A and B are shown apart, each in its own frame.
Chain A
Amino acid sequence: MRVSQISVFLENKSGRLAEVTRALADRGINIRALCIAETIDYGVLRLIVSDPAAATAVLGERGFTVTETEVLVLEIPDRPGGLAEAIARLADRGINIEYIYAFVTKSGENANVVFRLEQVDQAASVLADAGFRILAGEDVYRL
């Protein structure tokens, strides 16, 4: 039920993102989804990749600070209100979302939404009970 997301600390210097993507490409690691949060001084790059363990290893070797976190990836129908319903379920239960981002797959029928939550287990059962499909790690890595 869980997907491993890796996060990388990036100083705001030119070329840092290029080094990350190059390191992953060199190891044949595919990026499924990504987002960056930034401040004046630095950014945090969050990635979902085809092989999280290998990505963590290669980025560590190249001197990056990397951490792995478990996130929920939800398959949501690609129509108006699809995401709203999922979020409403979580809000009803008082479950906070730390951050969220989305990506689409080749088929294009569904959107995949990544949720970073404190109460992952509770959120997973709430969403599963409401009929949402939660993707397993293997499903996402192989997309």
Chain B
Amino acid sequence: MADACIWDKPAECMAAQDLRRLQGERLSQTVRHAYDNVPAYRKKLDEAGVAPGDIASLDDLPKLPFTTKDDLRDNYPFDMFAVPMEQVVRIHASSGTTGKQTVVAYTRDDLDLWAEVIARTLAAGGVQARDLVQNSYGYGLFTGGLGLHYGAEKIGASVIPTSGGQTKRQIQIMQDFGSTALCCTPSYALVIAETMRDLGVDPAALPLRVGFFGAEPWSEQMRSDIEDQLQVDALDIYGLSEVIGPGVAYECLEKAGMHVCEDHFYPEIINPDTGQVLGPGERGELVFTSLTKQALPLLRYRTRDLTSLDDPPCPCGRTHRRMDHVTGRSDDMLIIRGVNVFPSQIEGVLMGIEGTSPHYLLVVDRKYGKLDQLEVWVEVSPDLFSDEMKRLEAVEAKVRAEIESVLGLSVRVKLVEPKSIPRSEGKAKRVVDRRDLGQ
């Protein structure tokens, strides 16, 4: 029975020593490919005094310098690509720290790889060709929608590409079409559950059986809430566009950590301050090296996500190591409804609006059964203040519109009294995250 849930048994259940050898070979090819085709990597390796020939096995990995989001930004838009544009068949992008997008590319083989790892992801939750997969991740530059889409097609499941929003219609489709699997953010799953209650729809009467929830950090508490309310198995999935998108790691029905697709993406956990590699079970920053990607090879890419890796065998039979839920970031990036938000982007908007002060606070909240909400608190300076409400409301509307156009995310702007936002020595505290993500 377990076998039916493993999409690629030879790969996913490969013996540890075989896996390490395969990873070593692929690593050495990837380093050579990156060095030969990406000037930025060549420069980095030359500066670190590392030649591609020095990387013969996994043991050599710590010799390689780290790659960061800044490297992608500095080489915006296409200079990190390792293949000519003729071979690129897809481009996606996500927001970066300074308003510039992080751009990622895929060759045809990369897209096949992506569909493969999503097929593993969905199969691990029991999805088969006869299933109807309702994909409520956004379609577009965001990797969630199209990523899940092609993996579900690869399995032969029937994909219903609803994309996000229009919750009542989502529920109508679930009822009428009989969707058996749901893909969306965990907070949207709770919105769907809440809307079902409002509409008097009984989730237990629906064929919906399993959900794949990612693009947003969440907790075990949310898992049990979603499972109770939607009557599904709620599985965590992990990915980031730089590595490939969703499909980097996925939970099996044991729900005890996400198996990393290690034959394609090699994970390390490091101490974010020292860069030192940490051992099994130790919490630190997740770092990925791509092992098979062509268009955008990644060498020791710092995800800034904090988690841990464990290696005891999983009862499901898969040998790939498991990562814990992501419980935080080693930088100040927020992930809200799948959108990356950097405080620096909001600061940039406020600096451009006359009269706003550089003192602001971002408050992220997850109210029960509601989508994550970002509130931007802006201090009312004497220049901004007016006795007329319409002028204050116009200020709020202007700040809101400009932030929304930069982030692509709806926000709530709240005007607060001057000096009411706490000043701190040194690095200002810009973010209050009230989402309870557990540890």
Partner of B389, one of A39, A63, A69: A39
Q: Which A residues are CB-close (under 8 A) to B414? A: 41
Partner of A65, one of B388, B390, B417: B417
B175 within 8 A of A: no
A67 touches B387 (CB 8 A): yes
Tell me the bound Cα distance from A116 to B382 in angstroms: 19
Closest A residue to B414 using CB positions: A41
CB contact list, B308-337 vs A, under 8 A: none
A11 touches B387 (CB 8 A): no
Tell me the bound Cα distance from A63 to B382 in angstroms: 11
Contact code string A77-110 (vs B, CB < 8 Å = 1, else 0): 0000000000000000000001100000000000
Partner of B417, one of A64, A69, A98, A116: A64
Q: Which B residues are CB-close (under 8 A) to A10? A: 417
Tell me the bound Cα distance from A22 to B112 in angstroms: 71
Contact code string A32-66 (vs B, CB < 8 Å = 1, else 0): 00000101011010100000000000000001111
Given known contacts A41-B415, A65-B380, A9 and B385 CB-to-CB distance under 8 angstroms: yes
A7 within 8 A of B: yes
B417 touches A67 (CB 8 A): no
Tell me the bound Cα distance from A51 to B64 in angstroms: 71
B418 within 8 A of A: yes
Tell me the bound Cα distance from A63 to B416 in angstroms: 12
Q: Which A residues are CB-close (under 8 A) to B418? A: 63, 65
Q: Which A residues are CB-close (under 8 A) to B417? A: 9-11, 16, 42, 63-65
B387 touches A7 (CB 8 A): yes
B93 within 8 A of A: no
A11 touches B389 (CB 8 A): no
B415 touches A69 (CB 8 A): no
B387 touches A44 (CB 8 A): yes
Given known contacts A5-B387, A99-B388, A42 and B415 CB-to-CB distance under 8 angstroms: yes
Q: Which A residues are CB-close (under 8 A) to B392? A: 39, 42, 44
Contact code string B411-433 (vs A, CB < 8 Å = 1, else 0): 00011111110000000000000
CB distance from A134 to the nearest CB of B (A): 20
A67 touches B420 (CB 8 A): no
Q: Which B residues are CB-close (under 8 A) to A98? A: 388, 390
CB distance from A33 to the nearest CB of B (A): 14
Interface hub of A37, A44, A46 (most chain B Cβ within 10 A): A44
Q: Which B residues are CB-close (under 8 A) to A44? A: 387, 389, 392
Partner of B387, one of A16, A64, A116: A116
B381 within 8 A of A: yes
B386 within 8 A of A: yes
Q: Which B residues are CB-close (under 8 A) to A16? A: 417
Tell me the bound Cα distance from A46 to B385 in angstroms: 13
CB contact list, B363-397 vs A, under 8 A: 380-382, 385-390, 392-393
Q: Which A residues are CB-close (under 8 A) to B388? A: 98-99, 116
B416 touches A65 (CB 8 A): no
List 4 A-B pairs, minimum CB-CB distance, nearest first: A7-B387, A65-B385, A41-B414, A11-B417
Known contacts A7-B386, A65-B417; can you find 6 more A-B pairs with CB under 8 A?
A9-B415, A11-B420, A37-B389, A44-B387, A65-B381, A65-B382
Q: Please give the residue numbers on chain B whose beta carbons come within 8 Å of chain A beta carbons, in ascending order.
A: 380-382, 385-390, 392-393, 414-420
Q: What are 11 A-B pairs at a CB distance below 8 A?
A: A5-B387, A7-B385, A7-B386, A9-B415, A16-B417, A42-B417, A65-B381, A65-B418, A66-B382, A66-B385, A69-B387
